[in-house]
Structures are given as C-alpha cells and as structure tokens.
Structure 1
Amino acid sequence: MALTGRIALVTGGAQGIGRAISEALLREGAKVALVDSNPEVARECRGRLEEAFGVGSSLFFECDVTDWAKLQEVFRKTVKHFGHLDIAINNAGINNEKDWQKTINVNLTSLIKGTYLALEHMSRENGKDGGVIINVSSMAAFMHSPHMPVYTATKYGVLGFTKAMAEASAVGNFGVRINVLCPAYVDTPLLQTIDEEDKMGRYFKYKEELRQSMHTYGILDPSLIADGMMMIIKDGSLNGAVMKITASKGIHFQNDEPMSA
C-alpha cells in the first residue's frame, strides 16, 4: 500500500508509540487523525506536527476511548473531514492493576470497539474500499508477567481477538487486512506506572523485579515500533500476521502462516 493520500486514525496518537507511528505516516504522505485523552500532550504534539508537516495534514481529537459515543463521533468526524478511512491503528493502552476494570476497558474492550468502528468505515460489506487495521498487543501475550496479571490478560485478549477477526475478514471478504503488533518494553509513559502505587496496587512491592526484567530484556525506542507498523501497512500480503519486536531479535514474525485477505 502506497501511503500518499491515505487516511489513518491512531488512538493514543499524541505520545509514545502512537506519536512515533503518526509521524512515520505523515512522513510517507498520509494524513492522520490523532486520538488522545491527554489534552496538554495533544496540544504540544499538534503544534510540532503542524510545523513539520503543515496545517491540514492532521486532525486532533481529545477522546477517552472508553467513551463509546465519543469514539463513534471521532471516526465519523475523521471520515467526514477527509472523505474516507484507509488505516486504523488501535494503540491506546494503560497499565493499572489497582483499577483493573479500567485496564480491561481501555486495552481490550475499547480496542474491540475501535476495530468494529474501523470495519464500519472500511469493509466491503458496507460498500467501502477496504483498508488495514493494526491492533497493538504486547510481548506480555507470550511472556506473561506475574506482576501485571490484568495487563497481561488484556494483551492475550488483543492477540486472540485480532487473529480471529483476521480470519473473519478473509472468510467474509471484507477487504480489510487485520494484524497485530506485539512489542516488548518500549520507552513510553506506560513504563513509569511501575513506580506508582496508585496504579500497581498490590504489585507495587515488585517494582524492583520489574526494573530488573526491563534491564534484562532491554527497552525499545518507539521509532522501531513505528518501523514495524509501516512494514505491516505496506505489505499487502499480511492478514492475521503477528509481528513481534524485541531488543534481542528486532522485528520478526510469529511462525503462524498469515492469511490472505
């Protein structure tokens, strides 16, 4: 898929992985709707992106992805403004073991909703032209953490849901490729939650063990995740692919055979 003139929507798009992905898309000539719940970060990001890529290259929406009505509105406004949607990246995520229901709502429930909203605006079933959906999981889906069990559960869920939806797309001829990206530790604000007792709850006492795990496995730069994301977007053969990104192996795929859309 050539990206010039393509329209993308990225949740959690103003910081960390989402911001790196948004910048990569804009560099390739796409236009991007960035969705983020942090207005201060979004304002700073908007200024920098408009300076680098021009006014009109991006839209910004302040939105809590758990707000179903607001998320629907964001998708509708993106399509109304740009005319269509080609790429949806469900990237928003948190780690909050104390408020574990919120973690499920952000990391899994909202991602499922984002996938269905993207299909509403891209699937051939609805008379659209197809596209690409990429859901962000984690290496936690393969190497579970006893100190972040609910976070781990959500990432398992993202992996299973995405692979099942990719098969549904192939069987139903949606014309939408659906893939999942699983990075290891990435240098984002989410890593800082291990130092917050209000986020870690009963697992806060294990923060030194988590730090040691990060030291052992290494911490990735968000730009590498964006590189992997661009590979998935551009490779039209990938549907149901599971991309892993780790410090030791870099960008690589799970051995499962990807399906064709």
Structure 2
Amino acid sequence: MFDWTGKNVVYVGSFSGIGWQMMMQLMQKDIKMMGVMHRMENMEMMKKLQAMNPSVKVVFMQMNLMEKMSIDQAMKKMGQMMGHIDVMVNGESVLLDKDMEMMMGMNLTGMMHATMMAMPYMDKTQMGMGGMVVNMSSVYGLEPSPAFPAYAAAMHGVLGFTRSMGDKMIYQKTGVMFMAMCPGLTNTEMMMNLRDNVTWHYAESMVEAMESAKRQMPEEAAMQMIQAMEMMKNGSMWIVNMGQLKEVMPTMHWQM
C-alpha cells in the first residue's frame, strides 16, 4: 500500500477532467507539496485546491508541453523547489485529430520530455528517493479508433512508453515505478466537441455511438485510479470504466 505521507506530487495537465479530479482527491491525503504545471494558470482553481488542505503547499509552474525548452526549464525549477519529486501524474489529454502535431505533442511527445526531465529528481541514484509516474492513456490506447486514428496512435504510444519505462531493470536502478491509466468514455470537456475533431467525414455513425453511450463521471474514475496507484504495481496498465478497475495483462508477441 502506497504511503502518501510527506510526498511531493507533480501534476502536469489542465484544470479539468480526470487528472484534475485526482489532484483534488490527493489533496485530502497527508502529502507535503502539490505542484501543478500547465500552459495557463487558473487562479480560482488553485485557490480552491489550496483551501482543501491548508497544510499542503500548493504551487503553480507555467509550462508549455509543445516547447521542449519550456518543459526543461519549468521541470528544473519545480524539481529544485521541491528538492525531490515522489509522484508525477501526466494528466494532459486532448482530442484533436485535425491538428496531429499539437495532439501528438500534448499527449505523447511533451509527456515523454516532461517525464525524462523529472527523472533526475525521482531517481534514487541522483537527486530523488524513488517514486511513481502515472501516465494518462485511454481504452483507445488498447483498441483501435477508426474515427480518431491519430488520437488512438498517441494513446498507444503512451502505453508503449509506460511499459518500456516500467521495465524491472529500470525500477531496480531508479526506484521509480511507472503505471498507465486507460479510462473509458468519461463525461469531460473532451467529449463535447467530437464532431469537430473527426479525421474522416464519414465517421458520423461512430461519433453518434460514442455520444449516445453511457459515460462515467471524472470523480469516479479518479477514485479508481488512486486505488490502482496505491497497489504500487510497476509497469501495470489499468482500464478504469464505469466504477470498475481492471488490470490489463498484455500478450507477448515477440521477445529478444
């Protein structure tokens, strides 16, 4: 069982959705610091976060996931401010197939840069004490999405990165665990503009099915994800859907 006492937590993502709900719930734990990193600060939400637990120091660091220099500078400042990072949640997730460069940058490339820049402050052989990195993927990281193939590609990439970094050799050296969360359809802002973001004009029927399908609430999904984190299973992937938490057991198709 993961012990949250005195932990420094970094959240990379927006002020909405499942990732933000995770932060709200983690503020109820006995953590030490909460660092939020995003392109633009939401003062009202930051005040709300701080008010939830005055004993936790809450800080904001501006960072643009589309710019490597911005990521490097911001993560270095955050790491130096905290001293070390115990938990990192990569919670950014955008659905924008019509702008593949932005979507891949926000969902995948930026996340990888941020993670690698945070590692010196987590790695027990450097400035860290070990810890946990949680990456937000999707059920479309496990299955194809004909209406949003670029989004599916990014989500598959998140899982590939997580599984690779979650190798037991890396964990033994660094003490850093890696986990991936794959939520099902969730009632978030991302689901509000599906028709504007389809890759193919003939994907209407697929979008209609997604729009009419039952969705989980982000608060509910966040609670399940925190439960998965507390199990501390390195390299694991979890489907989080409609109140159910299920570990994904990948099939090995090739081995060196």
Indicate the residue corresponding to 2:36 in structure 1.
34
Q: Deviations over 1:66-108 (max 9, x none)?
A: 2222222222222232322100111112111111111111111
Q: Secondary structure at the match of 2:235?
A: coil
Against the structure 1 CA distance between its residues 189 and 162, is the aligned structure 2 distance closer, same or farther, given a 3 Å change threshold?
Answer: same
Indicate the residue corresponding to 1:240 in structure 2.
235
Unaligned 5+ segments in structure 2 are 252-256
Q: Secondary structure at the match of 1:230?
A: helix
How many residues get paired? 249
Q: Secondary structure at the match of 1:5?
A: coil
- 1:8-47 paired onto structure 2 within 5 Å: 8-30=9-31, 31-39=33-41, 42-47=42-47
1:203 aligns with 2:200: yes
- 1:150-229 paired onto structure 2 within 5 Å: 150-167=150-167, 169-170=169-170, 173-196=173-196, 200=197, 202-203=199-200, 206-207=203-204, 209-216=206-213, 218-229=214-225
1:141 aligns with 2:138: no
> TM-score, with normalisation over the residues of structure 2?
0.88
Q: Deviations over 1:138-164 (max 9, x none)?
A: 000122111101000000111111101
- 1:86-125 paired onto structure 2 within 5 Å: 86-125=86-125
Indicate the residue corresponding to 2:69 in structure 1.
69
Please tell me whether the aligned partners of residues 19 and 91 of structure 2 are also in contact (alpha carbons under 8 angstroms).
yes
Q: Secondary structure at the match of 2:186?
A: coil
Please tell me whether the aligned partners of residues 185 and 214 of structure 1 are also in contact (alpha carbons under 8 angstroms).
no
Indicate the residue corresponding to 1:128 in structure 2.
128
> TM-score, with normalisation over the residues of structure 1?
0.86
Cα distance between partner residues in 1 of 2:43 and 2:202: 35
Letter in 2 for 1:250: Q
Indicate the residue corresponding to 2:226 in structure 1.
230
Judging by fraction of residues, say which structure has more helix.
1
Unaligned 5+ segments in structure 1 are none
Q: Percent identity, aligned pairs only?
A: 20
Letter in 2 for 1:239: N
Please tell me whether the aligned partners of residues 13 and 22 of structure 1 are also in contact (alpha carbons under 8 angstroms).
no
Please tell me whether the aligned partners of residues 179 and 229 of structure 2 are also in contact (alpha carbons under 8 angstroms).
no
Cα distance between partner residues in 1 of 2:57 and 2:22: 14
Q: Secondary structure at the match of 1:71?
A: helix
Indicate the residue corresponding to 2:254 in structure 1.
none
Q: Secondary structure at the match of 2:239?
A: strand
